[in-house]
Amino acid sequence: MKKDKGYAAIIVVILIVCIIAFGVILYYSTNGFIGIIYPKDVTLSGIVSVAGLGRSPEKITFTSLTNGHTYVQDTVGNTYSISLPNGDSYSVTITYTILLSTGNTDAGTLNLRTLSSSATYNWSG
């Protein structure tokens, strides 16, 4: 009878450990291990181009699809460099100048999840 109670206690402990381990794996898999395995921030750099005669890229804007925060970086020539939180998706907009006016063009969506602390992305609009 004592042996049966000992086995039952061991099985309960193993089940509790398995449930906790499963919960930790589930939590981190849905939160992407950001800040643990993945770097918290990623420095993006690349080339920005705009279609159309006389259009010159002025800045690039990344808008978080999760919380709406915007991250804006002026372009230098046709290049940019910006640090963004990893593990988020962003809509990307390029602001350009043409003659004496400015305009915006949609450059697409960035799904940022990388193991590296830097990445190169080229954008055109």
Domain map (residue ranges) of the chain? 1-30, 41-124
Query: How far is Cα 96 from Cα 103, in angstroms, rounded to an integer?
Result: 5
Give the DSSP H/E element, type plus range, for residue 25.
helix 2-30
**CA 87 to chain CA mean position, Å:** 3
pLDDT greater than 80 at residue 13: no
Instruction: Give me the residue label for tokens 């910006």.
Output: 82
40-89 pLDDT per residue, tens? 999 999 999 999 888 999 999 999 999 999 999 999 989 999 999 999 99
pLDDT greater than 60 at residue 37: yes
Q: Which of 114, 39, 107, 120 is nearest to 80 (CA)?
A: 120
Q: What CATH architecture applies to the domain 41-124?
A: Sandwich (2.60)
pLDDT greater than 60 at residue 26: no
Q: What is the pTM of this model?
A: 0.73
Query: How far is Cα 6 from Cα 18, in angstroms, rounded to an integer?
Result: 18
Q: Answer with the residue of higher pLDDT: 14 or 32.
A: 14
Average pLDDT, the chain: 86
